Amino acid sequence: MSPTSSDPAGSAAPAVRRVAATSQRLREQRARRRFERTFWMLVASLSVVSAVFLLLGSLQGPKLSSAVVDAARVVEQPGQQLRLFANQPLGAVTAEQVTVTPAADVTVSVQDEVLIVQFEQRLRSATEYVVDVRDVAATSRDATADFVHRFTTPAASLLYLDRGEAVDEVLRAPLDASGRGEVVHAAPGIQHVAPVENVIVVARDAPGGTSVLESVSTDGGAQQLPVPEGVRVDRLVVPPSGTLLGLVLTTVPGAVEEADVPLDRALAVVDLAGPGLVEIVTGLDGAPLTTLDAAFLPDAVSLIVHTFDQTLLRVELGDENLALPVGQMPEMHALSTDGTRVTGADAFGGIVLDLASAVESRLDPSLVDGELAFGGEAILTRTELRVQKVAVADPATGAVRVLLVADDGSGASRVLLRTVDDRGSIGAFTISPNDQYVAVEVTPSVADAVADGRPVNGRPTSVTTIVIDVESGAVVRTLEGFAPHW
């Protein structure tokens, strides 16, 4: 029998559906409330976390992101920079906030998020430096932080000439290694050598006691530079930077039938980045400058020239060369390593000429081991320290020994070099641009020395270059050869 409307089972179905719908709605409401409660709890938690991070951020200073410094160039040239990059723009920073270990003079500037530490002088080679900048503040908050950066400078190297029986070699020797170093050029009859930017310039023997001038590139290729016919290169004057090379030239008698203007130790220059033409430098009278000695100033386009009449000239090279007198000096020794002063000598002893003020002062040597010393060639560093050859008489025997000393003017000097049993001789010497080392030409035994027989710039066959750390007096390198260049 089919059910009717009065059937109890049929009348219960709508009620069941209503109850189910109500239950479903209640479950959905409870789920929605749980979601909303969880959502707002999560939002509240995130808000608290964000507030904590914002609070911590407001209490922290800027952070150092990266740093850039040319570790090689800071040794070679003053005025190089360490750039410290922060994660936000920075406030002002003073030099008093900066500590450099080992100590170095700096200036400081800020450009947005970049903190620039500029080293006023060249740094030491093969040395780890720590730069600590304290209390660096951002522009947007008062909190500060410290920036610390470490870097290590590379070891120095030395270029020198080692003459052989048939072939001469130009070598570069790192000071932190052993052996002879790397041969960068080999050729017969090398008279002089000069490093200029990325090339090596050599003057070599030519017929009749004259010279041929060559520029040698890093790949070994040699290009001959035209010099006046029949001349001898007496000296190459190396610039501190750039491509302008100085020369001192002399016309060799009989090397040419007739020279229009015979040269007698005439100053000349050649721009190795240009056509490579050698140009004679003239004085105010239009005549070539007869040059006893010359040295480039730090700008690499001006020279200090010591002429035959004992005048010191400042020669400005340009479209029209300008040669102006800066003083008188019977004997010129060397330009200081910072290019501000010239040492020399007159009949009464050593003298120093300040190039900016033209003021001349005496250069009296300090005592050596309590004994009086007679000063010879001296090179000044950027400080009061100088390296000098001195002669000291033995109080018992009267024998004179020649020493190389470091003298800061305090009244007592330190001995840097003395030959074994005083049998040798101390020749030319040069200080590294950063005042750290001195390279000295030494003949170990004068009595046993044998000349190399070269017609130009001859040396004993036993000549040796000794490199000494000026501060400690330690011998760093000993090389068989001469003509050291940094």
222-245: per-residue pLDDT in tens? 899 999 999 999 999 999 999 999
pLDDT (mean) for 368-387 = 95
Nearest by Cα to 88 from 148, 138, 145: 138
Residue 139: beta bridge partners?
A: none
Whether the pLDDT of residue 177 is over 90: the answer is: yes
How much is the pLDDT for 2? 47
Query: Which residues partner with 419 through β-bridges?
Result: none
Question: What class is the 64-152 domain?
Answer: mainly beta
The secondary structure of the chain in percent helix, strand, coil, rounded to multiples of 5, reads: 15, 45, 40
Return all residues near 466 (Cβ < 8 A) that are at least 6 apart: 417, 439, 440, 442, 475, 477, 478, 479
pLDDT, tens digit, 9 for 90 and up, residues 18-74? 777 777 777 777 777 887 778 888 877 777 666 655 555 555 689 999 999 999 999
β pairing state of 437-443 and 341-346:
unpaired
Query: What pLDDT, on a 0 to 100 scale, did the predictor assign at position 344?
Result: 97
Both tokens of 63, joined, read: 């952070």
Each as own residue / partner, the long-range contacts of residues 256-264 (CB below 8 Å, 24 or more positions apart, any chain) are: 256/229, 256/230, 259/228, 259/229, 259/230, 261/288, 263/228, 263/231, 263/288, 264/288, 264/290
Give the mean pLDDT of 160-186: 96
Look at the pTM and tell me if it is higher than 0.75.
yes
Q: Residue 184 has which token pair?
A: 């960068």
Element at 485 (helix H, strand E): strand 482-485
DSSP 3-state assignment of 112? coil
pLDDT at 171: 97
Amino acid 189: pLDDT: 97
| Element housing 32 (H / E) | helix 8-59
Residue 14 clears pLDDT 80, i.e. is over it: no
Q: Which of 157, 151, 231 is nearest to 191 (CA)?
A: 231
How far is it, in rounded angstroms, from Cα 300 to Cα 6?
120
Rounded Cα distance, 449 and 398, in Å: 24
Q: Is the pLDDT of residue 478 over 60?
A: yes
Q: Give the span between the Cα atoms of 203 and 66, in whole angstroms.
A: 47
Residue 11 confidence (pLDDT) above 80: no
Q: Band of the pLDDT at 3, cuts 50, 70, 90?
A: very low
* Long-range contacts of the stretch 236-240 (C-beta < 8 A, 24+): 236/192, 236/193, 236/194, 236/201, 236/203, 237/194, 237/294, 237/295, 237/296, 237/303, 238/194, 238/195, 238/196, 238/296, 238/485, 239/196, 239/296, 239/300, 240/296, 240/298, 240/300, 240/339, 240/433
pLDDT of residue 143 exceeding 60, the answer is yes
C-beta of residue 465 within 8 angstroms of C-beta of residue 160? yes
pLDDT level of residue 1 (50, 70, 90 thresholds): very low
Sheet with 331-335: list strands edge to edge.
Answer: 331-335, 341-346, 349-354, 360-363
Amino acid at 109: S
**DSSP secondary structure, 425-478, as one string:** EEEEEEE-TTSSEEEEEEES-STT--B---SSS--BTT-EEEEEETTT--EEEE
Average pLDDT over residues 171-196: 96
**Least reliable range by pLDDT among 142-151, 391-400, 425-434:** 391-400
| Residue 49: CB atoms within 10 Å | 10
Domain ranges for the chain: 16-59, 64-152
Percent of the chain whose pLDDT exceeds 90: 79
Phi, psi torsion values for 183, nearest 5 degrees: -75, 120
Between CA 40 and CA 251 the distance in angstroms is 98
pLDDT tens, position by position, 416-460: 999 999 999 999 999 999 999 999 999 999 999 999 999 999 999
Within its chain, how far is the Cα of 181 from the centroid? 20
SS3 (DSSP) at 482: strand
The pLDDT value given to residue 10: 55
Q: How far apart are CA 37 and CA 250, in angstroms?
A: 100
Across all residues in the chain, what is the average pLDDT? 91
Read off the amino acid at residue 254: G
Beta strands in 317-372 (DSSP E): 322-328, 331-335, 341-346, 349-354, 360-363
Can you tell me the distance from the alpha carbon of 87 to that of 114, in angstroms, rounded to the nearest whole number?
Answer: 9
pLDDT number for residue 43: 79
Residues 343 and 378: their CA atoms lie apart, in Å, by: 6
